[in-house]
Amino acid sequence: MHRGPGAPLPLPSAADSLVASGPLPRTRRPRSRSERALIRGALAGSEADLEALFRAHWPRAYRAAFLIVHDHAAAEDIAQEAFVQAIRRLDRFDRRRRFAPWLGAIVANRAIDWLRARTARRESGQEPPETAAAADPPRGTYSEEVLTALAELGPEHRAVVVMRYVLEYTPGEIAQALDLPRGTVNSRLRRGLDALESRLEKAEPA
Amino acid sequence: MNAQRALRSFRAPEEAATQERTWTVVRDAYRMREPIRRRRPRGRLLLVPAVAIVLAAVTLSPAGATVGRWIRHALGVPHAAPALFRLPAPGSVLVSGAGGTWTIAADGSSRRLGPWREASWSPHGLFVAVTRSDHVAAVDPHGTLHWALARPAARDPSWYVPTGYRVAYLSGRTLRVVAGDGTGDGLLATGVASVAPAWQPGSAYRLAYVTRSGVLVVRGADSKRIIWTAPLSGQARELTWSADGGRLLAVTDTRASLYDPSGRKVATVAALPGTPIRAASLSPDGTALALIRGSSNQDVVVLRFGSATPRARRVLSGAGLRQLAWSPDGHWLLVGWPAADQWVFVRVTGMPRIAAVSRIARQFSAHASAKDGFPRIEGWCCTTSGTAG
């Protein structure tokens, strides 16, 4: 999203009430309940359990989407839609499995689709007007170098690296989620890591 | 430096803020989901009271009577009034369709403004901007033509609020702006989606529109400078600014998002899978959002943002609900029901009430069938010193 240099307009009182739809009053979180118990609780109608489940998984889901698409507004939309979809399908979720890989697969596939759609638009000459992320810059060790190195990889390579080292999937889980042969996952991981290592070495202070 | 460690220590921008924003969306989706049907042994007799309650609500629903919160699985409200004798709230309704453009005053009297296909009230209801395939024009509420411009495929006129000094409209795939007196017509943007542009009230002629590639753009109409842009998810349907210009509502088939004037997304309502958003409308004071959602059967849902925990309230259900308009006082919703050839007025504050009017297509067009002649609701405007009140 691009913000122009003009200062934001003051918000009149009628509009202020809409802000209330943002942050919620704090709710008591259940203490160290298992993921299975949280899912069971959410299915039974417990909003507190749903919130605990959401807050446990949001940062990684959003981070993974951002690392794949490199656009914070799109990443927010992608992770948000993935959560909404997951909530809708929660009753069909096999509770013997882990929640994170299930959610992560939705996020990664949506992020890859988004990148492909953007590439298609660009090729058809329908590139939207310039958009610039005006959010805070990413934080963490060598965050800019990480982003630059990932940007040099194709969407599928990028997704594999992010799923392995941000979402902490096993190569087998990645292969299943992205419908790829296990060997392809391993080779993409190797190539992605090599690119990252090489970039980060250059950034390393002498 | 270890690449794996760098990836694990990576933090995306605005993680905390996005988490709070998304939690409200996820929570609302959770609240609006259809409850899981539990398998309980229940006999056929147990179904009878439930059906009876629904039927009772429907059959005991004369126009204007209290009928409870909503009607489900019915095509139209039974015993609807055969004609629109009066509006339940002050103001004047503007409609357009195959039968031309009409205004309907609070006392039920209607006036045809001409053979126009689309229309939009001026800020105080003193004029109406109208279009048909080859013209954009301004008429007064008596139908007197004040100016006209020949433009190909003209549609979706929109009048700048509060002065009325500019009118934006689409012509083919272009967005054009003309002064309120019909002078100075010019091109503002090309490659524009078929969604009515929306002026930010009280701004320096800032206009919101959607590109064909699905990007929301807010742009100065005079300066031609792009103020901000944001990608939209899904197929764009509608843009509306709150009356004070403090919020922009962008509606697609998958979500309704609210932006502040600087382009920051402040709230989102996501459609559940299989329940696309058909129409949405922001209340005149900007504190409530009415939505029509659903695929084969639709619900009209009102979300109020006044409290910290906004709740969705279903006020009407039925197959084929399509259009929405708030009354100027924010107490009533006018819902178009083409499949039933009805307008339904639903009171959404205080005691719930429903009043329905049938044979809408016949009243506003020569076509007997609702399919061809059902008019589009263009707005329910303020009272005016003219005939609109």
Which residues in A lie closer than 8 A to residue B247 (C-beta atoms)? 15, 18
What is chain A's length?
Answer: 206
Q: Quote the CA–CA distance of B20 and B23 in Å, as a whole number.
A: 5
What pLDDT shows up at residue B129?
94
DSSP codes, B331-369: SEEEEEEGGGTEEEEEE-SSS-EEEEEE-HHHHHSS-SS
What pLDDT shows up at residue B327?
94
User: What phi, psi does B331 have (nearest 5°)?
Assistant: -95, -25
What pLDDT shows up at residue B368?
54
Q: Quote the CA–CA distance of B330 and A121 in Å, as a whole number.
A: 41
What pLDDT shows up at residue B167?
95
A3 pLDDT above the threshold of 60: no
What pLDDT shows up at residue A129?
39
What pLDDT shows up at residue B38?
45
Closest residue in chain B to residue A22, using alpha carbons only? B21
Closest in B12, B272, B286 to A18, CB measured = B286
- Subunit contact A136:B33, Cβ cutoff 8 A: no
What pLDDT shows up at residue A35?
85
Residue with tokens 């017509």: B185
Q: Quote the CA–CA distance of B14 and A66 in Å, as a whole number.
A: 11
DSSP codes, B46-82: HHHHHHHHHHHHHHT--TTS---S---S-SS-TT-BS
**Does residue A206 belong to the interface with chain B, where contact is any CB pair within 8 Å?**
no
3 state SS of B379: strand
Residue with tokens 């430096």: B1
Closest in B35, B306, B308 to A24, CB measured = B308
**DSSP structure class, residue A206:** -
Is the distance from CB of B238 to CB of B280 less than 8 angstroms? yes
**What is the residue-level pLDDT of chain B in tens, covering all 389 positions?**
577 888 888 888 888 888 887 887 788 777 766 544 444 433 332 222 222 222 222 222 333 333 333 444 457 787 788 888 889 999 999 999 888 999 999 988 999 999 999 999 998 888 999 999 889 999 998 889 999 999 999 999 999 988 888 999 999 999 999 999 999 999 999 999 999 999 999 888 999 999 998 899 999 999 989 999 998 988 999 999 988 898 899 999 988 888 989 998 887 888 877 789 999 998 888 888 899 998 888 889 898 876 555 567 888 888 889 999 999 999 999 999 998 899 999 999 887 788 999 989 888 876 556 566 799 999 998 754 433 33
How many angstroms separate the CA of residue A187 from the nearest CA in chain B? 16
Of A94-103, A135-144, B333-342, the range with the highest mean pLDDT is: B333-342
User: What phi, psi does B236 have (nearest 5°)?
Assistant: -65, 140
Tokens of B213: 């590639």
A136 pLDDT above the threshold of 60: no
Q: Quote the CA–CA distance of A65 and A81 in Å, as a whole number.
A: 11
Closest in A6, A138, A193 to B227, CB measured = A6
Q: How many helices (H) and strands (E) does chain A have?
A: 9, 1
Q: Quote the CA–CA distance of A129 and A106 in Å, as a whole number.
A: 28
Among B228, B127, B219, which Cα is nearest to B175's?
B219
Residue with tokens 């006082």: B329
Q: pLDDT, tens digit, for every residue of B283-300?
A: 888 888 899 998 888 889
A32, amino acid identity: S
Calculate mean pLDDT across residues A162-178.
Answer: 86
Q: Quote the CA–CA distance of B74 and B88 in Å, as a whole number.
A: 23
Long-range contact set of residues B222-226: C-beta below 8 Å, sequence gap at least 24:
B224/B188, B225/A4, B226/A2, B226/A4, B226/A129
- For residue B79, how many other CB atoms are within 10 A of its CB? 15
Mean pLDDT of chain A: 72
Tokens of B247: 């919020």
- Subunit contact B11:A143, Cβ cutoff 8 A: yes
Q: Report the complex ipTM.
A: 0.74
Cα angle B183, B186, B192; round to 5: 135
User: What phi, psi does B384 have (nearest 5°)?
Assistant: -135, 175
Helix (H) or strand (E) holding A19: helix A13-19
Cα angle B101, B291, B231; round to 5: 95
